[in-house]
Amino acid sequence: MEKITQAILEGAPGEEIGSLELPESMTAAYVRKDEQEMFEGMEHDAKDPRKSLHVDEVDIPPLGPNECLIAVMASAINFNTVWTSIFEPLPTFLFLERFGREGELGARHNLDHHIVGSDAAAVVLKTGPGVTRWKPGDRVTVHCNYVDLEAPTGHDDSMMDPGQRIWGFETNFGSLAEVSMVKANQLMPMPTHLTWEEAACNGLVNSTSYRMLVSPNGAQMKQGDVVLIWGATGGLGGYASQMVLNGGGIPVGVVSSEDKVELLHEIGVEHVINRKAEGYQFWDGDRQNPKEFKRFGGKIRELVGEDPDIVFEHPGRQTFGASVFVTKRGGKIVTCASTSGYQHVFDNRYLWMMLKSIIGSHFANYKEAWEANRLLDLGKIHPILSKTYPLSETAEAAWQVHQNLHKGKLGIRVLSPEDGLGVQDEAKRAKYADKIEVFSRFSD
Ligand code: NDP
């Protein structure tokens, strides 16, 4: 891989990069099928990605029709890599086996190791038959929706396609590897003022937040809307906070430490609740505590003077009852996850009597991802990238996210030897220097 990395770092022309021979093996982060039961019977928090995620040599992925092989310069940790590495709620080998039953191309993914990772900043190395829009040497970020679009239902919105999969979670050959395999319809141009690691950490969570808040498929936030954002500096929330500000909404961020409160104030979020300092106890054993819902709702009213039009939900079981309670009459709860448990309990009287609605949302289609990526390229969104790790320390980074010890995003340097490389347009970066400086203050 050294020759390829060197050619990329030296800015070699695309034809030269495309002509370089690929090695037979590469370094990648993966979980093993023969270890998928290793955490059985253990508590969620005790399941340790540092025991299950391996970084070692594996074969270079195959290349098929409408696919590209990309050299991954940087990647990032998403929560889905945490789920894969603790084999919750189920081992992702089940996804690979199902894919394997779908024919020859799917069978390539059904291996005894699963290479994880759903975000990348990369350079196209090889293109398969049928690829016309991308060529070797192109600098790209990756949209992690892996879909053929054979079914008619996917043609208004590819997230409605029954064959839709999340790359590096429901497929093999994800981004925490020196070379990854993607479909051509996953590629997007790399924002020209960002470094490899800054460009690598956005795709999955930025696009998901865009669909949840902005898209006609989500809550369709309008100017003046009050939006309650759980985990407002986290993977999803760090982007949601910026989108609400950009769209003329009023974000109310919920976080769990004073440095996160400060971060939100610095980027312009006026109303912030430190949930730890307030000590909310929404659950009392296995019963919910409506008094605590009222105390939480009262805090939002005290800060903003009204209830949220939209609640941006993903913690799930621990918060969902409170989210439904505090939403304004006629408002929307938009949810994409259940980090603290997927069996939600809420008092339906607060929903139907107050004409509220719950919107289920999952990742984003290519158009939504492209729009979200464009916001990055326009400098309107910037990642909260607090730390980067080398590929060899992927498991430690996943552990940090599992234990909620991180801020914003954790990046992984794959082929890029150090932080700060990959910027294509220094003049543009200088234009956004003040904004970038604010965000960089929160790096560890
Ligand atoms: P992060 O861990 O980066 O951020 C989530 C934040 O939520 C945390 O930083 C924490 O912030 C807050 N949080 C965690 N647990 C609780 C809790 N019990 N109560 C209140 N707040 C809590 O993760 P992501 O934002 O990247 O992902 C969040 C979830 O969304 C994951 O389950 C992930 O798998 C899922 N997801 C789903 C997608 C989809 O397409 N369906 C796409 C992307 C993510 P703080 O401690 O500061 O309050």
Q: Could you tell me the distance, in angstroms and rounded to a whole number, from the CA of residue 187 to the centre of ligand 1?
A: 25
Q: What's the chain's Rg over C-alpha atoms?
A: 21
Q: What is the mean predicted confidence (pLDDT) over 294-300?
A: 98
Cα 218 from Cα 214, distance rounded (Å): 6
Q: Whose CA is nearest to atom 43 of ligand 1?
A: 205
- DSSP class of residue 177 equals B
What's the confidence (pLDDT) of residue 53? 98
Cα 249 from Cα 245, distance rounded (Å): 6
C-alpha dist (Å) from residue 308 to 52, 332, 420 = 41, 9, 39
Cα 364 from Cα 211, distance rounded (Å): 6
**Measured from the CB, is residue 164 less than 6 Å from ligand 1?**
no
How high is the mean pLDDT of the chain?
A: 97
What's the confidence (pLDDT) of residue 443? 83
Cα 109 from Cα 207, distance rounded (Å): 25
What's the confidence (pLDDT) of residue 138? 98
Q: What is the mean predicted confidence (pLDDT) over 292-319?
A: 98
Whether the pLDDT of residue 285 is over 80: the answer is yes
Token pair for 265: 């104030």
Q: What is the mean predicted confidence (pLDDT) over 367-375?
A: 98
Token pair for 312: 């941006």
Q: What is the mean predicted confidence (pLDDT) over 293-304?
A: 98
Question: Which of the listed residues 404, 405, 410 should we mutate to test ligand 1's pocket, taking the one with most ligand atoms within 8 A of CB?
Answer: 404
Q: What is the per-residue pLDDT across 55-98, written as a single tens digit (0 to 9) for each?
A: 999 999 999 999 999 999 999 999 999 999 999 999 999 999 99
Whether the pLDDT of residue 397 is over 80: the answer is yes
Judge whether 197 and 388 are in contact, CB under 8 Å. Answer: yes
Single-letter amino acid code for the residue at 381: I
Q: What is the per-residue pLDDT across 103-115, written as a single tens digit (0 to 9) for each?
A: 999 999 999 999 9
Would you call 25 helix, strand, or coil by DSSP?
strand
Cα 8 from Cα 17, distance rounded (Å): 7
Percent of the chain with pLDDT over 70: 100
Whether the pLDDT of residue 444 is over 80: the answer is no
Burial 221-239 (b: 16+ CB within 10 A, else e): beeebbbbbbbbbbbbbbb
Q: What is the mean predicted confidence (pLDDT) over 15-43?
A: 97
Q: What is the per-residue pLDDT across 330-354, written as a single tens digit (0 to 9) for each?
A: 999 999 999 999 999 999 999 999 9
Q: What is the per-residue pLDDT across 151-173, written as a single tens digit (0 to 9) for each?
A: 999 999 999 999 999 999 999 99
**Measured from the CB, is residue 401 less than 6 Å from ligand 1?**
yes
**What is the position in ligand 1's atom list of the atom closest to the CA of 339?**
32
